[in-house]
Structure 1
Amino acid sequence: MRRRDATGFPTIVGMELRHRALQVLHLTDPDEKAAATLATYAQAATLSIAENTPASPPDSPPLPGHPARPLLLRHTEVARRSPATHAGRAVLIHAIAHIEFNAINLALDAIWRFGGMPRDYYLDWLQVAAEEAQHFGLLRAHLRTMGHDYGDFPAHQGLWTMCEKTQHDIVARMALVPRTMEARGLDATPLIQRKLRQVGTPDALAAVGILDTILHEEVGHVAIGNHWYRWLCEREGLHPESHYTTLVQRYEAPRLKPPFNETARRQAGFTEAELQWLLQG
């Protein structure tokens, strides 16, 4: 059931958490999705989890729900521009905003799709979804100060592609989405910030501050992925490091290349052996 809250956005009520997550995942309007995610997080303490995995209605559009814009292309078709220009910085901020919007969907999908996990698993990913919604809001607001909005430039769905590949394997999902695809943001963000500081314009420096907030919280998100990956490996009698290599090959995950933000990765729970594996590339 949906009703509108004081902000004018619909909230989803009368459902267990995993059912709510699926319904929010179906929402197409970015502001509605972010608002409904935050509203669900605010009510987390009062929600039951749902023992049975909810079913997506047979006539539902494909997941995730996304707006008509931006135009979605293959990642190789999305043009890059120099952040030295105003237009280039707008494209950059738009690309990061799209990643954060996708990250809301990834966290919601982790909640509704996989049953049989402890309550803390679902609450952890709900927290991630809420923080990603806040990140998206910060970036979209900044983009608007630059004379643009979310949807103005093409984007790609690389993160969601890996989500689809791992939809039947929660161990692979934890290994290859939060601690592989999303962890790449820990490496990329300081490099982006350095370029923006070199530009030095007010909008570039404002973006650096926003990225500071995002980087701090993304360390926690990757740590959650690391925690649940290792928890699952222990439950299933798997060696986390060797099984990770198997999953990378099985699901054709990208082999990451340096430079790596080793400090942030350690804070997020990567072991020295895992860092060495990455560095040996």
Structure 2
Amino acid sequence: MEVLGEVARAVLLTADPHAKRREARGLARAWRRGALVHRCDATMPDQPARPDAPELLAPSQMPRRRKGGSERGRIAMLHALAHIEFVAIDLAVDLVGRFGGEFPRAFVDDWLGVAADEAMHFALLDRRLRALGSHYGALPAHAGLWEAAEATADDALARLAIVPMVLEARGLDVTPATVERFRATGDEASARILERIYRDEIRHVGAGTRWFEWLCDERGFEPAATWQNLVKSRFRGSLKPPFNDSARRHAGLTQEYYGVIAR
């Protein structure tokens, strides 16, 4: 039988976006079939493989997206979201490959399910871009999305605190307004895709919160205070309102966590 960690490493080392998408979903299927040994001792790469396009730029070099309903603006937004979902495939797979041996099988169930979701989200967004005459890779993309993984490569608790409970949770805050902007321009097809992603991301943040609390319990830590300390020490940005308190609460991420340190 193949080994979970080795197959996860192979996904991370796959550069082509569509091959990565297929391999991530194949990894999830193989795990569900019981075709993989639950062992995660393979070394994960510091950086996943990346395709030649899109060009990756520092945040300060990224073109500013114009607000409004032009097709060009909508394409730029969809491309940015597609890049986020592409990187999210690697974030979920790396979480399993790097830390999966520290957790029960249910952890791997959850996060390979997340990886499959992110692969599906990427496919939906790229398909929509193509319907609008573009594609993933046609525009520059943010180079810094992997930084959170690098900053938390040594500790599963830190990774859970920052990636699902900060970065994905931020998606819950901003996506409803983005959906409404697309809908206001008559782009119902894009709005429906983003609504689908939003519903899935609530579940992803919920998985992050649940496993963060599980690991805190294993280590004898108080969850909210531990999360706050990790965010202060491992996250380069700041937590800024407005927050989608309802969606966060639905995911188990209550104001007890973020209300104290929000700016």
Provide the secondary structure at the position in 2 that maps to 1:194: helix
CA distances 1:46-89 after superposition (whole Å, capped 9, x unpaired): 13343351025xxx8x5211111001111222122234211111
CA distance in 2, matches of 1:76, 1:120: 40
Scaled by the length of structure 1, the TM-score of the pair is: 0.88
Give TM-score scaled by structure 2 length: 0.94
| Equivalent position to 2:3, from 5, 12, 16 | 16
How far residue 272 of structure 1 moved from its aligned partner, in angstroms, is 3.7
Aligned to 1:65: 49
SS at match of 1:255: coil
CA distance in 2, matches of 1:194, 1:275: 26
Please state whether the residue corresponding to 1:208 is helix, strand or coil. Answer: helix
Q: CA deviation at 1:176?
A: 0.5
Q: Distance in 2 between matches of 1:30 and 1:124?
A: 22
Secondary structure of the 2:208 match is helix
Match of 1:51 in 2: 39
Pairing 1:75–2:62 present: no
Q: Which runs of 5+ in 1 are unaligned?
A: 1-13
2:175 corresponds in structure 1 to 189
Shift of 1:254: 1.9
Task: Give the structure, 1 or 2, with the largest relative contact order (CA under 8 Å, sep 6 or more).
Answer: 2
Distance 2:199 2:37 in 1: 28
Kindly report which structure 2 residues correspond to 1:171-190, keeping only aligned pairs within 5 A, or say none.
171-190=157-176
Aligned residues of 2:228 and 2:257 also touching (Cα < 8 A):
no
Equivalent residues of 2:43, 2:98 under 8 A apart: no
8 Å contact kept, 2:162–2:235 = no
Question: How do residues 111-190 of structure 1 correspond to structure 2 at under 5 angstroms?
Answer: 111-114=96-99, 115-190=101-176
Q: Which of 188, 191, 212 is residue 195 of structure 2 equivalent to?
A: 212
Q: Give yes or no for contact 1:83–1:92 (8 Å, CA) kept in 2.
A: no
Task: List structure 1 segments (4+ residues) > 2 angstroms apart after TM superposition.
Answer: 47-52, 274-278
Q: Once the two structures are aligned, what percentage of the paired residues are identical? A: 39
**Distance in 2 separating the partners of 1:21 and 1:112:** 5
Residue 274 of structure 1, CA deviation? 2.4
- Looking at structure 2, the residues matched to 222 and 18 of structure 1 have their Cα atoms a distance apart, in angstroms, of 23
CA distance in 2, matches of 1:31, 1:252: 30
CA contact (8 A) 2:6 2:40 kept: no
The aligned residue for residue 27 of structure 1 is 14
Which residue of structure 2 aligns with residue 8 of structure 1? Answer: none
Displacement after TM superposition at 1:104 (Å): 0.3
Preserved CA contact (<8 Å) 2:213 2:223: yes
Distance in 2, matches of 1:240 and 1:159, equals: 25
What RMSD, in angstroms, separates the aligned Cα atoms of the two structures?
A: 1.6
Checking the alignment, whether the CA contact within 8 Å between 2:25 and 2:116 is kept in structure 1 is: yes
Q: Distance in 2 between matches of 1:83 and 1:65?
A: 34
